[in-house]
Amino acid sequence: FGARMQKLVSLLPPPCCLQCGRGQFEVTGGTQCKHSSERSPRLIIQLVFEVGRGNSPDKMPNSEDTSDTSGKGQKDREDRGSLLDDTKSSVGSGNTNMPGLCKPGLSCSSPPRIISVTEVLETARDVSNMTIAHEIVMNSNFQIQKVESPQNSLERRVKEIVHKAFWDSLKAQLNETPPQYSQAIKLLQEVKESLLTLLLPGHTRLRAQIGEVLDMELIEQQAEHDALDIQRLASFIVGMMATLCAPVRDAEIKKLKVLTEIVSLFREIFRVLDLMKIDMANFTMKALKPHLQQESIQYERSKFQEFLNKQPNALEHTTAWLKAATEETANSVSPSHGNCPAVVSPTVVLNQGFMNLLKWDQDTDNYPETMLMDRSRLQELKQRVDQLTLVASILLVTSNTAGAAICGLPGFVDKVKQVTCALLDGLNYKLEEILVAVSDQIYREVNKSLPEHGYTPLTSEQEAILKGQIRSITQRGNVIQNLIGGRIHSYLKGFLNFPSPQKCLHVLPGGLAPIQAELKEIGCTLSRVLHHNRMVFGPYYSGILVKLLFMDSDAGMDSR
């Protein structure tokens, strides 16, 4: 594995910006931060290698023992018990020591200090590496693709001018009498190296063939005596590329075979070789993904701990988020016996905090630091939940107004749901106007279906009630929306208690049957994202919850 990954690092070209595409390549299938760092397939493969070989400390920086506090720390741990079930599990091939937020007996606050530019750049690099590793594991569609600069952009014009100058220089050298091959020999050396990096360990015969035909010493001697057949070498290169390329590149190879002008041929050879490198990089990441999933938890945790060592207050928003979830959970639990305090489970608090993220205002900046890598993913789930809440509310209003008989007809609910979803695609754009259109369309569908099945059409009063209730769904305090929204969140919350959400069989609340498939898909995605997050950051949540739940000496705590 290690030798293979080290070899593949040389496949890939210089870095570029993932967000704006300033460079040759970008990462797709995920969300990148705005110009936060520059990454290329080469750097991503280096990162895959680093994660794959388990490059993380066996002991976390903040987990070392201190002689003066070991007794007290041991007693506290015995008194508190185990906070989170997930933090007990082992990671990778062995158990890992769980870090605290700070050394025992020391305050988490630290005096201000001057941070150098080098430290800032190193921190940005580590955070970026952690984000990319997270995306590789969590995003099933993660891949690298070539990106082209926008037409008529300054970057594209400069690139075209520089490339034209380079290839014109090569053409001028080859047209001299006698031809000058110095630049062409350098290109042949680069092509040889690229072909060798595309070989698998078992390609012994192909490796020997490439070394024999593209023997650089022999090529230089032939060039000195004006006996170099560069067209023959180009044909061999194209044939070798046809052997090594993925089937998706067969059309590109076919175009290369019909080119006769040597400069244009070499230009296209390098372009197709770049695509083949990207194909190999994506194949490698896909093949190694199961191994990366085993190692990514420890890798992400170690990188975050390095960041926390440099920024001790980096969990400020996370602490506030868990504090709000603790207060909300405590208020919802009634006292156990008389004046005895309610027993609060840390797992329940954490699940409540996770569910609160589906109601989070996306315009606020105080998002929990431990959830930032999944923020865009959770925001997308939030939008889908909001839309499904509206759809279920509209269907419930329609059922109550038109009657259960008409809504029980085969295909009627699906048709109304399809119309509603199509009109709600612009959920964030003038929702009130969209609901007006939805109410009118649903009224037409209902009035069309009622006579077809022997029912009386809606009266004017029923029409006004139907349209009025649909248009008022988004108003603050709307009973129907609050009811459906609460049921949806309750159903989704049940997925958080199952490591394998596909086996989750908890009862679907009433009124959600038309959107059951969509809710199950959201629940599985939510469970997978948050379970991974809990495995990575569980030790930090544990430390925060210990302080929050023991803040009041009279407060009770359930160690489950």
Residue 75 placed within a domain: no
Shared domain for 270 and 397, answered yes or no, is no
Single out the residue in 311, 326, 359 at which a domain terminates: 311
CB atoms within 10 A of CB 472: 16
Distance CA(101)–CA(556), nearest Å, equals 22
Give the domain range for residue 289: 1-11+117-145+153-311
Shared domain for 428 and 498, answered yes or no, is yes
Shared domain for 516 and 406, answered yes or no, is yes
Q: Are strands 343-344 and 556-557 parallel, antiparallel or unpaired?
A: parallel
In one letter, which amino acid is 355?
Answer: M
Token match 């009634």: residue?
334
Full-model pTM: 0.66
pLDDT at 342: 61
Residue 462 placed within a domain: yes
Low-confidence ranges of the chain (pLDDT < 50): 1-40, 55-109, 553-560
Shared domain for 190 and 285, answered yes or no, is yes
Give yes or no for a cis peptide into 178 (omega within 30° of 0). yes
Residue 286 placed within a domain: yes
Question: Is residue 318 a contact partner of residue 326, using CB atoms and an 8 Å limit?
Answer: no
Shared domain for 387 and 532, answered yes or no, is yes
C-alpha distances (whole Å) from 377 to each of 132, 138, 282, 317 are 14, 10, 22, 19
Residue 300 placed within a domain: yes
Separate counts of helices (H) and strands (E) for the chain: 20, 6
Residue 357 placed within a domain: no
Single out the residue in 261, 292, 311 at which a domain terminates: 311
pLDDT at 51: 53
Shared domain for 376 and 511, answered yes or no, is yes
Residue 93 placed within a domain: no
CB atoms within 10 A of CB 289: 15
pLDDT at 341: 58
Distance CA(145)–CA(41), nearest Å, equals 9
Shared domain for 169 and 293, answered yes or no, is yes
Distance CA(476)–CA(460), nearest Å, equals 27
Shared domain for 157 and 303, answered yes or no, is yes
Single out the residue in 289, 311, 333 at which a domain terminates: 311
Main-chain phi, psi angles of 471, to 5 degrees:
-75, -20
Shared domain for 302 and 415, answered yes or no, is no
Residue 195 placed within a domain: yes
Residue 324 placed within a domain: no
Shared domain for 125 and 6, answered yes or no, is yes
Q: pLDDT tens digits, residue range 248-281?
A: 999 999 999 999 899 999 999 999 999 999 998 8
pLDDT at 91: 38
Question: What is the number of structural domains in the chain?
Answer: 2
Full DSSP string of 267-314: HHHHHHHHHHHHHHHHHHHHHHHHHHHHHHHHHHHHHHHHHHHH-TTT
Q: Are strands 343-344 and 143-146 parallel, antiparallel or unpaired?
A: unpaired
Q: pLDDT tens digits, residue range 410-466?
A: 777 888 888 888 877 755 567 788 888 888 888 888 888 888 877 788 888 888 988
H or E element: which one contains 191?
helix 182-197
Burial bucket for residue 314 (CB in 10 Å: 0-12, 13-18, 19+): middle
pLDDT at 31: 41
Shared domain for 373 and 289, answered yes or no, is no
Shared domain for 270 and 381, answered yes or no, is no
